[in-house]
Chain A
Amino acid sequence: MYKVCVDTGGTFTDCVVLDDQGRKEEFKSPSTPEDFSIGVVNSISDAASAFSLTDEQFLDQTELIIHGTTAATNAVVTKNVAKTALIGTKGFRDVIEIRRSSKIETHSMYEAFIPPYEPLVPRYLRFGVNEKTKSSGEITKGINEDEILEIIEQLKKEQIEAVAVCFINSFANPENEKTVATILEKHLDNVFVSCSSEILPKIGEYERTSTCVINASLGPVIKKYLTRLETKLKNQGFQGQLLVMQANQYAQSVSAVIRKPAYLVGSGPAAAPAGSAYLGKFIGEENIVTADMGGTTLDSGMLSRGGVILKSGMWLNDDRLGIKVVEVSSIGAGGGSIAWFDSLGLLRIGPKSAGAEPGPVCYGRGGTEPTVTDAAVILGYVPDDYFWGGKYKLDKEGARNSIKKIADKLGLGVEETAQAIFTTVSSTMADGITEITTRRGHDVRDFSLLVCGGAGAMCGAFMGGLLNTKNIIVPKFAASFCAWSMFCMDVGRDYIRTYFSNLDEADEDEINRLYQEMIDEALAEFSVLNVSRENLSLVKSVDLRYSGQFHEIELTLPSSDISKQDLINLKDDFHRKHNDLFTFSLPNVDIETRNLRLIATVKSDVSDLPEIEKTTGKAEAYEKRRRQCFFEGKFMDTPIYDGPLLKAGTCIKGHAIIEEPTTTVVIPPDFTCNVDQYGNYILNKEVQ
């Protein structure tokens, strides 16, 4: 039987197939934005052909498909979503447009010439209802059904496809929202209804409303897409399980995702940290920074003490999504990033990228501006005769000419300039990584740097050297690590309940009651997968803050029932964590609880990592050739190794290059690379 992972990106759809023996094959086909399911089916068809099977035969022998899709992100960013209305509390219909006036969260203070924000729901489709829920949860004005029926008439007239319902203070009592949702569902056919208290039951009407609107507006789009995909696969003989990857690093059933499609937004870059958690268990690393370097962006994420770091909320341009997602820092730096001079005459790399088309100059497809990949060709790191396993011949002369334009301005030679481009992009990426490490209070020196994506292995040692990470890990399948990572994903979802209390007065019975409510919700969502309470793994946590603060720190709770002692222990943990993050603690100030959080997961059935053949022999045996590569300001005669032939136990001293069919590992001087039993490359800087 096969397990298949299909990762739909903006440009390409990656398909990875695992067979019963743990062997892996990768396939790539163009994405089809007009209907992404076509690209998914095409990529599966490619896989079937490669295994000399018909599509039907292949799908019949496939027990699991895990699908990562950019469909939700694309829909929100391009505003290609369902026609959506918003029903809110009378007097507050502009919550999503007024927002929190947080101009500097998405723009510079010195930017004046910015177009006005266009909310996903225009004002004429936002309706105010005469209801009142107090912040205590008391409802002082219930729903008048006639008022809702009048709104429904307008919704019908406007041919609305989705409705977001978000009332002020519904986090404290969702009753009025639920009443309205029931009336809407009774009177509107085929209209997706989303309540804010269901998608994000926490205080803060802006973030809750915005998230609810995003969820509602995606509802019909995602339902149509996933239903179509499921039907196509079934029609071709697929009888296994289709799971969809979410932005919180967990996979989920199609039926559950259709109710909460907002969980798909931003799911693309979430895969690598989840994969590193799985890989880390085999190689004994539980603190890992992942750096996924593609053509245009570097996405970095974190694994700390074996757990992937999540964050509460993200911006999608000017729209805010408040759900928990894998903490990913994205910066515009990749293999296709273009070198340029800013207004102060400083060399900058990215965020503009040559992308896949026309691509870097060396691709010979019309690119004219020098990129990181062009610099790598000049430096000898990327072979002009073995790109993509020798499928493409690169135009080294074109790369040289393009870099000369930069070199002339810098007053340096072409090679020195190529090295400056390389150093600058590595430095920019290292800075990007510190956004999620150093700035979050993590000492990056305690972490390994896992580099992946097509260009990650090329820059890994340079980034790791700048950051002083413990070592650098280049996974065996670095180029398709994200797709590979999806095989390792647990099925799961996170849940939240607001619980305001002074920590000293917190009631463990009430806390346990709220957790039971969340567990019941999880079991209901997981029912399609036949999951029982015994199969669920629980991670409980609580958001705490000093009395009066506006922001919280999340601390972990035991997964069992919460006891009084657990709450007492939290106090010391909170003071310590606050001091670690912000340089001070306030032992005499009261601590408040804000939210209770639960992550409920079901372990996925992942096979072991296959080991590769071992050797005690010297690395020289695998040297396939030598060429001149530019390191530390001069060309050096550099051994080139054939990656697929290398065996476990091989130790390669830098300077050296390892050529894999889909990527190139650069080992600079002073670095040593060891091949582990799974075929991963572990790079260490020699201590001087």
Chain B
Amino acid sequence: MNNKVDPITLSTIWHFIQRVCREMRETAERTATNVLVVTLHDMAYGIWDSEGRAIAIPEGFPPRLISSAFPIRFAKKKFEGKIYPGDIFLTNSPRAGAVHLADWVFVRPIFYKDELMFWTCMGTHVADSGGAHPGTHFLADDNVAEGLNIPLLKIVEKGEWKEDLAELILENNRLPKMMRHEMSSFMGSTAIAEKRMIELLERYGREKVNASIDAMVERTESAVREEIGKWDEGTWYSEVYTDDDGKTMGAPVAVRCRLTIKNGEVTFDFSDTDPETSGNANAHYHQTLSNIMCTTFLFLGSDLAAFHNEGSMQPIHVITRKGTLVDCNPYALTAGSPAVVGSLTIEALLSVLSQALSHRAIAPYARLAAPILVGRDEKSPDGVYVFSSFSSVAGAGAVHGYDGYQCACDMGTLGVVGKSDSEDEMARFPWDILRCEFQTDSHGAGQWRSSPGIIWEAVNEGGDATNMGGPMSGFTTQAPGHQGGAPTQFNKVYKISEGEKTRVENPRLPIHFKTGDHFIISSGGGAAVGRPEQRDPEAVLRDVKNDLVSVQMAKNVYKVVIDPDNLEINQKETEFLRKRGNLS
């Protein structure tokens, strides 16, 4: 164990670095104009050392948290000898470590007295990234149509914007004014990190800071090993399907995972996963790695939540096969990867880990059903709007011991994303939101049930608009529950045009709306843990009273008979039904 620094200094330095990360997030959230950043927390940021080792992995978007090390290492290699204080690098290319073209990553080296000491980065999903369609092109044939590919380049050198590059990028964007603002915001958050890390170095000196970081990495590794050492050894297997491959509707694809726990280490083997497709669902290795780490951290307990860094990853091994959905080739299409294969990867991980650690079972969140509406809007600075919302997305799956946390939405983000206020959305976009509330009987039933599904309806008050359904899923396949708990419920999408309501068969394809058309999303809840008939009848009664469970569902699924007139449990019939269930 590293003993170069006293425990008090070590602790102080560690908490300081964590606070720097929080300040980065706050700066981006308070200054950005992109709803995905501000209210949905769709960000990845942190501090890495000069070698690109993760020092502080804060809370943020799981596919990007760990994978941010890849563009950092790439910048270090590509610009070796030409990296200066005040430089900022930008990329959205998966070949340079970004997740998909919609994710722009800003990387800044942090120098102290002319020595490169740290790296920081801020990455997020932007509202437009060029390409054939506004927002993101989910039905592209190749990566050029998918969006503007920005190779890792130096966008700011020694504190000065490289205007020619910025112009080139923004000329190829439908929201150039907004994106210039966003670039300032993200780079501003990295400037905050630089300022604070220099303050830290000035207070404690290089040697103490470096020694503290080494000690923290060592301590974290040993704590994670100790925790995994308590887990039973063995091998577990999971297989999960999504609706389609991102191009061919109705052709499900699978992610498969084999977990082996042995000698205080875990290995996730995804080799049996389906091959990559010509659709948009593919994920690069760095995204898969990031999802694996963040999901595993959930099972390590909240004690360690604040400490994760490079050390946490040492006992966790990942095996993938090149050319598969979770480790695709360089030019594979990735527009829908975080939401589709990213979520699927997390579902597969939850399944194997919940089998291995039954007392810590975590059931999948509801599958994603959310609008990404694009249309013209003369009031906005760029004349175009991109209205992304998570308001229709249902909540968390159940965990062993608790019902699902209400509306901590989206499996692919491990519940990090939030929702906007409908009032704010109505003030910004030409859509009038008519309803957004829980639906009866929409959850995954179990001893511990999921959070309910949601009904969301809006009417188009602007001109022609299109929903880009790329990230939608859960219409024909379900995520599994655990220990007898029900799977996720199906999502459904409807459109009302000229008074006629129709169900949208393929919500993954663009849906067009004229003025006055209604868009309805009916999301199913997450999955459950434990058999429904083991649920406490009083909890079922409470749900019936709150109109989350119907009297019919209480009887048919939970085996609890409730008198609809006085809302009292019929104990005798309930006992009979539950006994009969046990016998059968």
Residues on A close to B: CB < 8 A? 90-94, 97-105, 108-117, 122-124, 128, 134-135, 168-169, 171, 203-207, 342-348, 410, 420, 423-424, 427-428, 431, 434-435, 439, 500, 546-551, 578, 581-584, 586, 589-590
Contact = CB atoms under 8 A, between A and B. Distances in A.
Contacts of B191: 583-584
B114 to A, nearest CB: 22
B59 A91 contact: no
A110 B302 contact: yes
Contact of A420 (B8, B297, B307): B8
A116 B406 contact: yes
B26 interface: yes
Nearest to B178: A548
A344 B184 contact: no
A420 B7 CA distance: 9
A551 B407 contact: no
A205 B12 contact: no
13 contacts: A92-B435, A98-B437, A102-B418, A104-B416, A109-B294, A109-B416, A112-B399, A168-B423, A346-B219, A427-B12, A548-B33, A551-B30, A582-B185
B405 to A, nearest CB: 6
A688 to B, nearest CB: 16
B561 interface: no
A351 to B, nearest CB: 13
Given A582-B31, A584-B188, 13 more contacts: A92-B436, A100-B419, A101-B407, A109-B305, A109-B415, A110-B298, A124-B547, A206-B421, A348-B11, A423-B8, A550-B424, A584-B31, A586-B181
Given A346-B11, A583-B188, A101 B390 contact: yes
- Which range contains the number of B residues in contact with the other chain? 35 or more
Contact of A101 (B10, B395, B399): B395
B546 A123 contact: yes
Contacts of A124: 545-547
A98 B216 CA distance: 38
Contacts of A343: 223, 303-304, 307
Contact of B437 (A94, A439, A547, A551): A94
B454 interface: yes
B305 A110 contact: yes
List 4 A-B pairs, minimum CB-CB distance, nearest first: A91-B435, A548-B33, A123-B546, A110-B305
Contact of A204 (B35, B298, B423): B423
Contacts of A420: 7-8
B23 A104 contact: no
Given A347-B8, A427-B12, A116 B404 contact: yes
A113 B399 contact: yes
A169 to B, nearest CB: 6
Given A98-B407, A103-B416, A116-B403, A583 B303 contact: no
A668 to B, nearest CB: 16
Contacts of B414: 109
Given A103-B408, A431-B19, A98 B32 contact: no
A442 to B, nearest CB: 13
A123 B60 CA distance: 31
A560 B390 CA distance: 44
Contacts of A206: 421
A423 B10 CA distance: 12
A128 B547 CA distance: 13
B33 A550 contact: yes
B75 interface: no
A104 B41 contact: yes
Nearest to B436: A92
B407 A113 contact: no
Given A113-B402, A431-B15, A583-B188, A342 B303 contact: yes
B417 A91 contact: no
B26 A439 contact: yes
A220 B355 CA distance: 50
Give the most central of B181, B300, B306, B417: most A CB within 10 Å: B181
Contacts of A92: 422, 435-437
B31 A549 contact: yes
A100 B39 contact: yes
B313 interface: no
Nearest to B300: A110
